[in-house]
Amino acid sequence: MEALHERKLDAGHRPVDSNEHRRPRVTGLGNLPEQVDVYEVGPRDGLQNELRTLPTRDKARLIEALIAAGEKRIEVTSFVSPKWIPQLADAEELLRLVGRREGVTFSALVPNLKGLTRAKEAGLEEAAVFISASEAHSKKNINKTIAEAVAEARQTTEAALKAGLRVRGYLSTVWGCPYEGDVPVSRVVEISRALLDGGIYQLSLGDTIGVGTPRQTDTLLNALLEYVPVEKLALHLHDTRGTALANALVGLQLGVKTFDASIGGLGGCPYAPGAAGNLATEDLVYMLHGMGVKTGIQLDKLVEAGMVAQELIGRKLAGKFLQAALGEREKKANRRATT
């Protein structure tokens, strides 16, 4: 009798060729980039949503820890009026304290020409302008219509470029608004094209309240990619409903190579109720490294930065990898203590 390991039997005990029904090996990941840029927004987007205002020296300490982990692009503050965001009122002092670093780009949110004047005097290298894709959110956030906000952003961009600054753009509420609900894809495309035509080098698409799903991410990005090179796009994802990494993976598969993230998952938007929960930098980096995608960031040192952030904020942060790593450290310490 022929050995069973040499021939397989189908359900009717008919010998079948061993390769007849073998499923060809496929991957669900598609083509992934070799390397991506992580754009750290914790010191700005993270801290602006905290009730407690950190001393400038503590903010500088956090930035130092992020640099030590290998982060190269860090949004450190905002030149929004201190009346509206008092947590970031020390923008000039912070930039003086951290200085300039070779190979590291510090950026800041610059809402208008007045903010740009402050930013230039502080020696800022890169500015970021912002728009909302929702009329209601735009009115709540900056008291302007979308058309007015686009005009101001383009004016600020033009002035910043003339002053020698690079300019990045944010488009918030692209997957949904806390006041309006769903936002039309066509509107997102229209505003995106207007901002990019104004001279920004990159547009970061923001899921401000964390409602986006992978299918929505795929739909929106494919609509944009009909008009915009993928190199011009970045994703700014919130994990409010646990979909940030899934959405990031869709972006990766479509060629996006820049992702905003916040150490420990710090942050949210002060004008988007319940939207706390930026994508944690360490969660993103862990996933990317696990798929063989390089970031230039050292994960163990990123955990150290997360520990600094948690200490300064005074509460447990939401980053899942951070908490897992801290739990492992605690277990090891306990084992050493009992031996």
304, part of any domain: yes
The pLDDT, as a whole number, for residue 269 is: 59
Is 1 contained in some domain? no
Cβ atoms of 43 and 91 closer than 8 Å: no
The enclosing H or E element of 206 equals strand 202-206
What is the chain's pLDDT, residue by residue, as a tens digit (339 residues)? 444 444 444 445 555 455 555 666 667 787 899 999 999 999 999 999 888 899 999 999 999 999 999 999 999 999 999 998 999 999 999 999 999 999 999 999 999 999 999 999 999 999 999 999 999 999 998 999 999 999 999 999 999 999 999 999 999 999 999 999 999 999 999 999 999 999 999 999 999 999 999 999 999 999 999 999 999 999 999 999 999 999 999 999 999 999 999 999 998 655 555 555 899 999 999 999 999 999 999 999 999 999 999 999 999 999 999 999 999 998 888 888 877
**pLDDT confidence of residue 256:** 98
The enclosing domain of 186 has a CATH number of 3.20.20.70
Residue 13 belongs to a domain:
no
- Could you tell me if residue 254 is inside a domain? yes
pLDDT of residue 211: 95
Residue 70 belongs to a domain: yes
How many independent structural domains does the chain possess?
1
**Contact in structure between 177 and 136 (CB atoms under 8 Å):** yes
Q: Quick one: pLDDT at residue 287?
A: 99
Name the residue range of residue 189's domain: 37-334
Instruction: Provide the residue type at 211 as one letter.
Output: V
Whether 14 is covered by a domain: the verdict is no
Is 47 part of any domain? Answer: yes
Q: Say how far residue 100 (Cα) sits from the centre of its chain.
A: 23
Which position has the token pair 């609900």? Answer: 181
Return the pLDDT at 2: 44
Catalytic-residue membership of 269: yes
Q: Are strands 73-78 and 105-109 parallel, antiparallel or unpaired?
A: parallel
Q: Whose CA is closest to 228, among 202, 259, 198?
A: 202
> What pLDDT is stored for residue 9 in this prediction?
43
Coil vs helix vs strand at 75: strand
- The active-site residue, picked from 124, 160, 167, 269, is 269
Answer whether residue 299 is part of any domain.
yes
